[in-house]
Amino acid sequence: MSAPPVALVTGANKGLGRETARRLAHHGYTVLLGSRDFGRGLETARRLADEGAPVVPVELDVTEPASVASVADRVRRDHGRLQVLVNNAGVTTGTRNLATTVTDMRDLFEVNVFGVVGLVRALLPLLREARAPRIVNVSSTTASLALTGDGRAIPGETDRRLAYASSKAALNMLTLQYARAFQADPALAHIKINAASPGFTATDMNGHRGTRTVAEGARIIVELATLPDDGPTGGFFHDEGPLPW
């Protein structure tokens, strides 16, 4: 029998990450549940196991190169390949738009953008070895230049999203650029990468003010993580279909 596919979900000890890990476990994946606080990750893994969704907790701080390298080494040693990478770890700030500082921006970009680049770079050799590798970058509808430029009402605190929306817009461009780079390399062309918007989901990040459940928000993440071979790459989606950049 072949070994089950392996998935790594970052920021997975709660919220969307936890729900994504749970669903992938039910899909038959060996799920590595990444958590900056290993104790919380271990507790989440215990609860998921009780629900019939066993996962493997791993300590992972996406802003620390040594932590990223350690996880990459573990995946290489234990599995030899990685089928799914879900870049879910993300932060926001409660600072109002006009009060946002350079430090605020740097702190968000370290996690929401630079952390993704570090993980993709470290795990690319393992993704390359998988038959149908998938990368999902968890983005936000607030990152859409088109919707924002049209003055569309996007749920959430519009006066506090300058840093967050900017970081997610950068993440969207990373998604597109990685997709083009993979397609141009015959050894990487089988990797599909897409950005997912879960919508205004009730999580700790927004004080649970979101109007969608984590089950609803995780739907598009899991769909993109389990795409068939003829599925899209380099796209930006929510659960009703493509979103404008």
* Catalytic-role residue among 17, 23, 113, 164: 164
The single residue listed with the structure tokens 């893994």 is: 45
Element (H, E) at 204: none
Measured at the CA of 52, the angle between CA 81 and CA 129, to 5 degrees, comes to: 5
In whole angstroms, what is the distance from residue 193 CA to residue 198 CA?
16
Answer whether 118's CB lies under 8 Å from 65's CB.
yes
The single residue listed with the structure tokens 């606080």 is: 37
Starting at the edge strand found earlier in the chain, the sheet holding 30-35 runs: 56-59, 30-35, 6-9, 84-87, 134-138, 192-196, 236-238, 241-242
The neighbour count for residue 187, using CB atoms within 10 Å, is 8
Measured at the CA of 210, the angle between CA 62 and CA 205, to 5 degrees, comes to: 30
Query: Which amino acid, one-letter code, is at 185?
Result: D
Instruction: Note if 178 is an active site residue.
Output: no
Take residue 149 and report the two structure tokens written for it.
């430029």
Query: Which amino acid, one-letter code, is at 206?
Result: N
Q: Output the 3-class SS for 10-53.
A: CCCCCHHHHHHHHHHHHCCCEEEEEECCHHHHHHHHHHHHHCCC
Q: Which residues are catalytic?
A: 164
